[in-house]
Amino acid sequence: MSGQSEHSKYGAAGQEIPISLEPHPGYHCSHFYYRWDRAVLQELSADERDEAADEFGALFGPLNNDDASAGGHPDHRFQDWPLRTQIGLVAGDKADFSLMIMDKDPLRVEGVNQGLLSSRLGEFLEPVYSFVSMSEISEYVPTVEQFAEKLQREGLAADSPEYQARVRGYEQRLPSMNQHRLCPAFPDWPVSCFYPMNKRRDPGANWFALPFSARNELMAEHARSGIKFMGKVTQLITVGVGLEDWEWGVTLWAKNPQYLKDIVYQMRFDEASALYAEFGPFYTTYIMTARDVLRRCRIIEG
């Protein structure tokens, strides 16, 4: 009995493992999708809808809530809100609107969902889909040393000015790139798309049976395809392994819906997708304020 207790409390080096809900590094990330019960909504008067709409709008904090947790002069009005929150109108009939929320504390993330469901308008909502995940720095992101080795394999001499400038530039960019992978500022772009995905384990196409070097090269090819859409599309990959039915969640934001179509189509020809990827349902969201969501859903007028 004592052996089990010691094993759960201490790591291999004998150091006590802290108990926490916060990942290190990374953030919790949840996508929620809802549908209105419009037949029951008809029972509310216009005044009751307006009053409920005010409560609905007050449930959501700022889009990017860095000021609430940063040093200096934090905005205490938002200190209990999640770090990232985004709401929008969902295209098609899979759902009516969506929420995307990120924070270190998963209870703060889930608190927004529960607050919404327990609100006045929550009586008329049906949750239709959710995806629970965490952000991380992928094992395929090169370290500075790996980046330098790659340049040498490509023929750059270690003592050349170009080699030294490129290594120094990568070293300077890497921290901000990794922070973007962990908890990016949500772009104020008009449209986003989310879909879950797996890597296949089929005979002859088993991603997890490939050596790391092969997987790394396939992901590098995939990344080169994505770079072509810089300035048009930005993405966040979150991990559902151990938390969800799907292994990864992909969130894309775009300056135009056409770019979503273009990037997903073109990147499916990469071997990492063509042979090894399985995709779940796609949810497209037009980003807007909470009150605009209610207007577009015809819950309120004006």
**Residues recognised as catalytic:** 195
β-pairing, 191-199 vs 277-279, is antiparallel
Tell me if 128 sits within 8 A of 34, measured CB to CB.
yes
How many angstroms from the chain centroid is the CA of residue 151? Answer: 31
Q: Which own/partner contact pairs does 103-106 have at CB distance under 8 Å and 24+ positions apart?
A: 103/27, 103/28, 104/22, 104/23, 104/27, 104/28, 105/21, 105/22, 105/28, 106/21, 106/28, 106/30
In whole angstroms, give the CA distance from residue 208 to residue 101. 30
Beta carbons of 299 and 44 less than 8 angstroms apart: no
195 beta partners:
250
DSSP secondary structure string for all residues of 13-82: TSPBPPP-SS-SS--EEEEEEEEE-HHHHTTS-HHHHHHHHHHHHTT---SB-HHHHSSSS--GGGTTS-
Residue with tokens 């995307």: 100
CB-count exposure of residue 224 (10 Å: 0-12, 13-18, 19+): exposed
Q: Which two tokens stand for residue 272?
A: 């990492």
Packing angle between helix 212-227 and helix 257-267, nearest 10 degrees?
150
How many CA atoms lie within 13 Å of 174's alpha carbon, on the beta-carbon side? 16
Question: What is the CB-side half-sphere exposure of residue 180 using CA atoms within 13 A?
Answer: 11
